[in-house]
Structure 1
Amino acid sequence: MAKISQQEFLTSLEDEISRQLDFAKNLEEYSDETLNQKVDAKSWSVLECFEHMNLSMIVYIDQLKTMNNFKPSNGLIKFGIKGKFFSEGMRPKNDKIAYKMKTFKKLTPASHLDKQVIKSFLNHSKWVLDFIKAHKSHDLNSLRVKTALGPLVKLNVAEALSFVITHNERHVWQIKNVLKAIE
Protein backbone atom coordinates (compact mmCIF):
# COMPACT_ATOMS: atom_id res chain seq x y z
CA MET A 1 0.00 0.00 0.00
CA ALA A 2 1.48 3.33 -1.09
CA LYS A 3 1.47 6.21 1.40
CA ILE A 4 1.93 9.86 0.50
CA SER A 5 1.69 13.18 2.31
CA GLN A 6 -1.94 14.28 2.54
CA GLN A 7 -0.98 17.94 2.17
CA GLU A 8 1.03 17.33 -1.02
CA PHE A 9 -1.67 15.03 -2.40
CA LEU A 10 -4.52 17.50 -1.82
CA THR A 11 -2.46 20.40 -3.17
CA SER A 12 -1.81 18.45 -6.38
CA LEU A 13 -5.56 17.74 -6.71
CA GLU A 14 -6.39 21.41 -6.15
CA ASP A 15 -3.86 22.43 -8.79
CA GLU A 16 -5.30 19.99 -11.34
CA ILE A 17 -8.88 21.07 -10.65
CA SER A 18 -7.82 24.71 -11.08
CA ARG A 19 -6.27 23.88 -14.47
CA GLN A 20 -9.47 22.07 -15.50
CA LEU A 21 -11.64 24.99 -14.37
CA ASP A 22 -9.51 27.49 -16.31
CA PHE A 23 -9.64 25.30 -19.41
CA ALA A 24 -13.43 24.92 -19.23
CA LYS A 25 -14.00 28.66 -18.70
CA ASN A 26 -12.01 29.39 -21.86
CA LEU A 27 -14.45 27.35 -23.94
CA GLU A 28 -17.31 29.79 -23.39
CA GLU A 29 -16.23 31.71 -26.51
CA TYR A 30 -17.06 28.75 -28.76
CA SER A 31 -20.51 28.26 -30.26
CA ASP A 32 -22.74 25.33 -29.29
CA GLU A 33 -22.48 24.20 -32.91
CA THR A 34 -18.68 24.00 -32.73
CA LEU A 35 -18.75 22.29 -29.33
CA ASN A 36 -21.16 19.65 -30.68
CA GLN A 37 -18.91 18.74 -33.63
CA LYS A 38 -17.39 15.27 -33.67
CA VAL A 39 -14.18 14.12 -35.28
CA ASP A 40 -15.96 11.01 -36.55
CA ALA A 41 -19.14 9.03 -35.91
CA LYS A 42 -17.61 7.01 -33.06
CA SER A 43 -16.06 9.92 -31.17
CA TRP A 44 -17.60 12.32 -28.68
CA SER A 45 -17.99 16.04 -29.13
CA VAL A 46 -16.58 18.52 -26.61
CA LEU A 47 -19.98 18.88 -24.94
CA GLU A 48 -20.49 15.12 -24.79
CA CYS A 49 -17.15 14.81 -22.99
CA PHE A 50 -18.28 17.41 -20.45
CA GLU A 51 -21.62 15.69 -19.97
CA HIS A 52 -19.87 12.37 -19.39
CA MET A 53 -17.62 13.99 -16.78
CA ASN A 54 -20.71 15.47 -15.09
CA LEU A 55 -22.48 12.12 -14.97
CA SER A 56 -19.39 10.50 -13.51
CA MET A 57 -18.76 13.22 -10.92
CA ILE A 58 -22.34 13.03 -9.69
CA VAL A 59 -21.84 9.36 -8.73
CA TYR A 60 -19.14 10.45 -6.27
CA ILE A 61 -20.45 13.87 -5.22
CA ASP A 62 -23.81 12.39 -4.15
CA GLN A 63 -21.99 10.05 -1.78
CA LEU A 64 -19.50 12.64 -0.50
CA LYS A 65 -22.35 15.02 0.35
CA THR A 66 -23.69 12.53 2.89
CA MET A 67 -20.36 11.98 4.68
CA ASN A 68 -19.93 13.87 7.91
CA ASN A 69 -18.19 11.52 10.33
CA PHE A 70 -14.57 12.16 9.39
CA LYS A 71 -11.83 11.63 11.95
CA PRO A 72 -8.70 13.80 12.21
CA SER A 73 -6.00 12.92 9.69
CA ASN A 74 -2.65 11.38 10.54
CA GLY A 75 -1.19 13.35 7.61
CA LEU A 76 -0.90 10.42 5.19
CA ILE A 77 -2.98 9.20 2.28
CA LYS A 78 -3.04 5.47 1.61
CA PHE A 79 -3.54 4.13 -1.90
CA GLY A 80 -4.46 0.50 -2.30
CA ILE A 81 -3.93 -1.51 -5.46
CA LYS A 82 -7.44 -0.75 -6.78
CA GLY A 83 -7.19 2.96 -5.99
CA LYS A 84 -3.82 3.30 -7.65
CA PHE A 85 -4.95 1.33 -10.70
CA PHE A 86 -8.18 3.31 -11.12
CA SER A 87 -6.42 6.67 -10.82
CA GLU A 88 -3.29 5.97 -12.79
CA GLY A 89 -5.19 4.02 -15.45
CA MET A 90 -7.17 7.15 -16.25
CA ARG A 91 -4.25 9.51 -16.64
CA PRO A 92 -3.03 10.26 -20.18
CA LYS A 93 0.67 9.41 -20.54
CA ASN A 94 3.00 10.36 -23.36
CA ASP A 95 0.10 12.02 -25.17
CA LYS A 96 -2.01 8.85 -25.27
CA ILE A 97 -4.43 6.86 -23.17
CA ALA A 98 -2.86 3.64 -21.94
CA TYR A 99 -6.06 1.93 -20.82
CA LYS A 100 -9.03 2.25 -23.12
CA MET A 101 -12.27 1.61 -21.30
CA LYS A 102 -15.80 1.14 -22.52
CA THR A 103 -18.25 3.63 -21.01
CA PHE A 104 -21.08 2.32 -18.89
CA LYS A 105 -24.49 2.99 -20.41
CA LYS A 106 -25.55 5.14 -17.45
CA LEU A 107 -22.53 7.39 -18.05
CA THR A 108 -23.01 7.73 -21.80
CA PRO A 109 -23.77 11.36 -22.70
CA ALA A 110 -26.70 12.57 -24.73
CA SER A 111 -26.02 14.26 -28.07
CA HIS A 112 -26.69 17.83 -29.20
CA LEU A 113 -26.07 19.53 -25.88
CA ASP A 114 -25.54 23.19 -25.04
CA LYS A 115 -22.98 25.05 -22.98
CA GLN A 116 -25.04 24.43 -19.85
CA VAL A 117 -23.07 21.19 -19.50
CA ILE A 118 -19.88 23.24 -19.16
CA LYS A 119 -21.54 25.36 -16.47
CA SER A 120 -22.54 22.15 -14.69
CA PHE A 121 -18.97 20.90 -14.96
CA LEU A 122 -17.71 24.15 -13.45
CA ASN A 123 -20.19 23.84 -10.57
CA HIS A 124 -19.35 20.19 -9.89
CA SER A 125 -15.62 20.87 -10.04
CA LYS A 126 -15.95 23.83 -7.68
CA TRP A 127 -17.91 21.62 -5.29
CA VAL A 128 -15.11 19.01 -5.34
CA LEU A 129 -12.52 21.76 -4.81
CA ASP A 130 -14.48 23.13 -1.84
CA PHE A 131 -14.83 19.61 -0.43
CA ILE A 132 -11.07 19.13 -0.60
CA LYS A 133 -10.43 22.49 1.09
CA ALA A 134 -12.95 21.68 3.84
CA HIS A 135 -11.44 18.25 4.53
CA LYS A 136 -7.69 18.99 4.52
CA SER A 137 -7.35 17.97 8.15
CA HIS A 138 -9.67 14.95 7.98
CA ASP A 139 -8.82 11.28 7.54
CA LEU A 140 -9.71 10.51 3.92
CA ASN A 141 -8.62 6.87 4.21
CA SER A 142 -11.19 5.40 6.58
CA LEU A 143 -14.45 6.17 4.75
CA ARG A 144 -15.26 4.38 1.51
CA VAL A 145 -17.15 5.36 -1.62
CA LYS A 146 -18.84 3.10 -4.17
CA THR A 147 -17.46 3.49 -7.68
CA ALA A 148 -19.54 3.73 -10.83
CA LEU A 149 -18.97 -0.04 -11.10
CA GLY A 150 -21.38 -0.51 -8.19
CA PRO A 151 -21.22 -1.48 -4.53
CA LEU A 152 -18.74 -4.32 -5.00
CA VAL A 153 -15.87 -1.97 -5.84
CA LYS A 154 -15.18 0.72 -3.26
CA LEU A 155 -12.40 3.27 -2.90
CA ASN A 156 -11.43 5.33 0.10
CA VAL A 157 -12.34 9.02 -0.18
CA ALA A 158 -8.80 10.03 -1.20
CA GLU A 159 -8.70 7.38 -3.95
CA ALA A 160 -12.17 8.45 -5.14
CA LEU A 161 -11.13 12.11 -5.33
CA SER A 162 -8.01 11.13 -7.24
CA PHE A 163 -10.06 9.01 -9.62
CA VAL A 164 -12.60 11.77 -10.31
CA ILE A 165 -9.91 14.32 -11.04
CA THR A 166 -7.72 12.06 -13.19
CA HIS A 167 -10.84 10.88 -15.03
CA ASN A 168 -11.56 14.53 -15.82
CA GLU A 169 -7.92 15.04 -16.80
CA ARG A 170 -8.34 12.20 -19.29
CA HIS A 171 -11.39 13.82 -20.88
CA VAL A 172 -9.86 17.32 -20.90
CA TRP A 173 -7.03 15.75 -22.91
CA GLN A 174 -9.68 14.20 -25.19
CA ILE A 175 -11.42 17.58 -25.58
CA LYS A 176 -8.15 19.26 -26.55
CA ASN A 177 -7.67 16.64 -29.27
CA VAL A 178 -11.23 17.15 -30.54
CA LEU A 179 -10.67 20.89 -30.72
CA LYS A 180 -7.40 20.41 -32.64
CA ALA A 181 -9.17 18.16 -35.14
CA ILE A 182 -12.22 20.38 -35.77
CA GLU A 183 -10.52 23.77 -35.88
Structure 2
Amino acid sequence: MKTTSSYLISDLMQRTEANLRLVLELQKFSENDLKHRPSAGAWSALECIEHLNFYGNYYVPEIEKQIDASLYPATEFFKSGLLGNYFAKSMLPTEGSKKMKTLKSSNPLGKQLDKKEVMDKFIEHQQKLLQLLKKAKKVNLSRTKTGISISNLIKLRLGDTFRVVIYHNQRHLLQAQKALDTIDRTSVNI
Protein backbone atom coordinates (compact mmCIF):
# COMPACT_ATOMS: atom_id res chain seq x y z
CA MET A 1 0.00 0.00 0.00
CA LYS A 2 1.27 3.46 -0.87
CA THR A 3 -0.46 6.65 0.22
CA THR A 4 0.37 10.12 1.42
CA SER A 5 1.51 10.31 5.02
CA SER A 6 -1.04 13.04 5.72
CA TYR A 7 -3.91 10.92 4.38
CA LEU A 8 -2.84 7.91 6.45
CA ILE A 9 -2.58 9.93 9.66
CA SER A 10 -5.92 11.65 8.99
CA ASP A 11 -7.64 8.31 8.34
CA LEU A 12 -6.15 6.75 11.49
CA MET A 13 -7.14 9.77 13.60
CA GLN A 14 -10.73 9.49 12.36
CA ARG A 15 -10.80 5.78 13.16
CA THR A 16 -9.34 6.38 16.64
CA GLU A 17 -11.85 9.17 17.33
CA ALA A 18 -14.65 6.80 16.27
CA ASN A 19 -13.24 4.08 18.57
CA LEU A 20 -13.15 6.58 21.42
CA ARG A 21 -16.74 7.71 20.78
CA LEU A 22 -17.90 4.09 20.67
CA VAL A 23 -16.28 3.14 23.97
CA LEU A 24 -17.79 6.24 25.59
CA GLU A 25 -21.19 4.93 24.45
CA LEU A 26 -20.38 1.44 25.75
CA GLN A 27 -19.55 2.98 29.14
CA LYS A 28 -23.26 3.71 29.56
CA PHE A 29 -24.01 -0.01 29.83
CA SER A 30 -24.13 -1.64 33.24
CA GLU A 31 -21.22 -3.75 34.43
CA ASN A 32 -23.46 -6.84 34.19
CA ASP A 33 -24.30 -6.07 30.56
CA LEU A 34 -20.63 -5.50 29.75
CA LYS A 35 -19.78 -8.85 31.34
CA HIS A 36 -22.49 -10.72 29.41
CA ARG A 37 -21.07 -13.49 27.21
CA PRO A 38 -22.94 -14.19 23.99
CA SER A 39 -22.08 -17.91 24.32
CA ALA A 40 -19.90 -20.22 26.38
CA GLY A 41 -16.24 -19.44 25.74
CA ALA A 42 -17.02 -16.20 23.88
CA TRP A 43 -15.71 -12.89 25.17
CA SER A 44 -17.92 -10.34 26.83
CA ALA A 45 -17.72 -6.71 25.73
CA LEU A 46 -15.55 -5.93 28.75
CA GLU A 47 -13.20 -8.80 27.92
CA CYS A 48 -12.87 -7.51 24.34
CA ILE A 49 -11.80 -4.12 25.66
CA GLU A 50 -9.42 -5.65 28.22
CA HIS A 51 -7.80 -7.60 25.37
CA LEU A 52 -7.21 -4.28 23.59
CA ASN A 53 -5.72 -2.83 26.77
CA PHE A 54 -3.16 -5.63 26.83
CA TYR A 55 -1.92 -4.54 23.40
CA GLY A 56 -2.25 -0.85 24.20
CA ASN A 57 -0.01 -1.36 27.23
CA TYR A 58 2.72 -2.56 24.86
CA TYR A 59 2.18 -0.50 21.71
CA VAL A 60 1.40 2.96 23.09
CA PRO A 61 4.76 3.28 24.92
CA GLU A 62 6.62 1.54 22.07
CA ILE A 63 5.20 3.93 19.47
CA GLU A 64 5.99 6.94 21.64
CA LYS A 65 9.55 5.75 22.26
CA GLN A 66 10.23 5.23 18.55
CA ILE A 67 8.70 8.56 17.50
CA ASP A 68 10.80 10.37 20.11
CA ALA A 69 13.97 8.55 18.99
CA SER A 70 13.37 8.82 15.24
CA LEU A 71 16.10 10.49 13.21
CA TYR A 72 14.01 10.45 10.03
CA PRO A 73 12.06 13.60 9.15
CA ALA A 74 8.56 13.33 7.68
CA THR A 75 8.13 12.59 3.99
CA GLU A 76 5.15 13.10 1.74
CA PHE A 77 4.48 9.39 1.14
CA PHE A 78 4.10 6.28 3.24
CA LYS A 79 4.85 2.90 1.71
CA SER A 80 3.70 -0.10 3.70
CA GLY A 81 6.01 -3.03 4.30
CA LEU A 82 5.03 -6.50 3.08
CA LEU A 83 4.60 -8.00 6.56
CA GLY A 84 3.10 -4.84 8.08
CA ASN A 85 0.54 -4.55 5.29
CA TYR A 86 -0.38 -8.22 5.74
CA PHE A 87 -0.84 -7.80 9.51
CA ALA A 88 -2.84 -4.57 9.08
CA LYS A 89 -5.17 -6.05 6.45
CA SER A 90 -5.74 -9.13 8.60
CA MET A 91 -6.89 -6.89 11.47
CA LEU A 92 -9.43 -4.90 9.47
CA PRO A 93 -12.95 -5.83 10.52
CA THR A 94 -14.59 -7.03 7.32
CA GLU A 95 -17.69 -9.04 6.60
CA GLY A 96 -16.89 -12.70 7.10
CA SER A 97 -13.42 -12.00 8.53
CA LYS A 98 -11.78 -15.05 10.02
CA LYS A 99 -11.54 -15.64 13.73
CA MET A 100 -7.97 -15.36 14.94
CA LYS A 101 -6.23 -17.35 17.63
CA THR A 102 -5.33 -15.24 20.66
CA LEU A 103 -2.15 -15.67 22.62
CA LYS A 104 -2.83 -17.11 26.06
CA SER A 105 -1.13 -14.10 27.69
CA SER A 106 -3.56 -11.67 26.02
CA ASN A 107 -6.71 -13.73 26.50
CA PRO A 108 -8.94 -12.03 29.10
CA LEU A 109 -11.44 -14.89 29.35
CA GLY A 110 -12.33 -15.50 32.97
CA LYS A 111 -10.27 -12.67 34.47
CA GLN A 112 -11.83 -10.55 37.20
CA LEU A 113 -12.45 -7.23 35.47
CA ASP A 114 -13.58 -3.89 36.84
CA LYS A 115 -15.64 -1.82 34.39
CA LYS A 116 -14.16 1.52 35.43
CA GLU A 117 -10.54 0.34 35.31
CA VAL A 118 -10.91 -1.37 31.93
CA MET A 119 -12.80 1.50 30.29
CA ASP A 120 -10.57 4.23 31.76
CA LYS A 121 -7.43 2.45 30.54
CA PHE A 122 -8.83 2.05 27.02
CA ILE A 123 -9.89 5.71 26.88
CA GLU A 124 -6.44 6.75 28.08
CA HIS A 125 -4.84 4.66 25.31
CA GLN A 126 -7.07 6.21 22.64
CA GLN A 127 -6.33 9.74 23.80
CA LYS A 128 -2.61 8.97 23.79
CA LEU A 129 -2.84 7.42 20.30
CA LEU A 130 -4.41 10.65 19.04
CA GLN A 131 -1.50 12.63 20.53
CA LEU A 132 1.01 10.21 18.99
CA LEU A 133 -0.62 10.45 15.57
CA LYS A 134 -0.14 14.23 15.75
CA LYS A 135 3.50 13.76 16.77
CA ALA A 136 3.97 11.26 13.95
CA LYS A 137 3.37 14.01 11.39
CA LYS A 138 6.98 15.06 12.03
CA VAL A 139 8.66 11.68 11.39
CA ASN A 140 9.05 9.33 8.46
CA LEU A 141 6.31 6.71 8.82
CA SER A 142 8.20 4.23 6.62
CA ARG A 143 11.73 4.49 8.01
CA THR A 144 10.79 4.79 11.70
CA LYS A 145 10.34 1.24 12.99
CA THR A 146 8.68 -0.27 16.05
CA GLY A 147 8.95 -3.61 17.75
CA ILE A 148 5.97 -5.92 17.92
CA SER A 149 4.48 -7.63 20.94
CA ILE A 150 4.98 -11.21 19.77
CA SER A 151 8.68 -11.14 18.78
CA ASN A 152 11.77 -9.03 19.44
CA LEU A 153 13.11 -10.02 16.04
CA ILE A 154 10.42 -8.38 13.90
CA LYS A 155 10.14 -4.63 13.32
CA LEU A 156 7.29 -2.91 11.52
CA ARG A 157 7.16 0.48 9.88
CA LEU A 158 5.54 3.04 12.17
CA GLY A 159 2.66 3.63 9.75
CA ASP A 160 1.95 -0.10 9.67
CA THR A 161 2.13 -0.38 13.45
CA PHE A 162 -0.46 2.39 13.80
CA ARG A 163 -2.65 0.60 11.25
CA VAL A 164 -2.38 -2.76 13.04
CA VAL A 165 -3.19 -1.30 16.47
CA ILE A 166 -6.08 0.90 15.32
CA TYR A 167 -7.64 -1.71 13.02
CA HIS A 168 -7.31 -4.27 15.84
CA ASN A 169 -9.16 -1.85 18.13
CA GLN A 170 -11.94 -1.48 15.55
CA ARG A 171 -12.20 -5.25 15.14
CA HIS A 172 -12.66 -5.97 18.84
CA LEU A 173 -14.94 -3.00 19.52
CA LEU A 174 -17.23 -4.41 16.83
CA GLN A 175 -17.02 -7.76 18.64
CA ALA A 176 -17.90 -5.97 21.91
CA GLN A 177 -20.93 -4.38 20.28
CA LYS A 178 -22.06 -7.75 18.97
CA ALA A 179 -21.73 -9.27 22.44
CA LEU A 180 -23.99 -6.54 23.83
CA ASP A 181 -26.48 -7.08 20.99
CA THR A 182 -27.05 -10.65 22.22
CA ILE A 183 -28.48 -9.51 25.57
CA ASP A 184 -32.13 -10.54 25.85
CA ARG A 185 -33.84 -7.27 26.75
CA THR A 186 -37.31 -8.87 26.80
CA SER A 187 -36.65 -10.70 30.07
CA VAL A 188 -35.63 -7.59 31.99
CA ASN A 189 -37.84 -6.91 35.02
CA ILE A 190 -39.19 -3.37 35.15
Q: TM-score, normalised by structure 1?
A: 0.92
**Structure 1 residue 153: Cα displacement:** 2.3
Give the 3-state SS of the residue equivalent to 2:43 in structure 1.
coil
Any idea what the Cα deviations from partners look like across 1:113-140, whole Å, max 9, x if unmatched? 1222011100001101100012213112
Task: Find the counterpart in structure 1 of residue 44 from structure 2.
Answer: 45
Q: Deviations for 1:72-124, whole angstroms, at most 9, x for unmatched residues?
A: 11111111111111111111212x32x32211122111534122201110000
State how far apart, in whole Å, the 2-side matches of 1:136 and 1:79 are: 16
Q: Which runs of 5+ in 2 are unaligned?
A: 185-190
8 A Cα contact 1:6 1:75, kept in partner: yes
Q: How many residues align?
A: 180
Name the CA distance, whole Å, in 1 between partners of 2:64 and 2:135: 12
Partner of 2:187: none
Distance 1:91 1:182 in 2: 25
* Shift, 1:65, TM fit: 2.9
Structure 1 partner of 2:131: 130
| Shift of residue 172, structure 1, vs aligned partner | 1.1
**CA contact 1:7–1:75 (8 Å) conserved in 2:** yes
**Structure-2 residue corresponding to 1:142:** 143
| Aligned ranges 1:54-93 → 2 under 5 Å | 54-67=53-66, 68-70=68-70, 71-93=72-94
Q: Unpaired runs of 5+ in structure 1?
A: none
Answer yes or no: is the 8 Å Cα contact 1:32–1:113 preserved in 2.
Answer: no
The 3-state SS of whatever aligns with 1:135 is helix
Aligned-partner residue type, residue 113 of structure 1: L
Percent identity at matched positions?
28
CA distance in 1, matches of 2:69, 2:17: 27
Which residue matches 2:111?
111
RMSD: 1.4
Residue 188 of structure 2 is matched in structure 1 by none
After TM superposition, the score normalised by the length of structure 2 is 0.89
Whether the 8 Å CA contact 1:36–1:112 is kept in 2: the answer is no
Secondary structure of the residue aligned to 2:146 is strand
What secondary structure does 2:65 align onto? coil
Report if the CA contact (8 A) 1:147-1:155 is conserved.
Answer: yes
- The alpha-carbon deviation at position 61 of structure 1 amounts to 1.5
Q: Aligned letter for 2:75?
A: N
Provide the C-alpha distance between the structure 2 equivalents of 1:81 and 1:66, rounded to a whole number of angstroms.
Answer: 23
Contact 2:36 2:180 in 1 (8 A): no
Matched with 2:152 is 151
Cα deviation code 1:13-58 (max 9, x no counterpart) = 0000010000000122211111011011110011100000010122
Which protein has the larger Cα radius of gyration, Structure 1 or Structure 2? Answer: 2
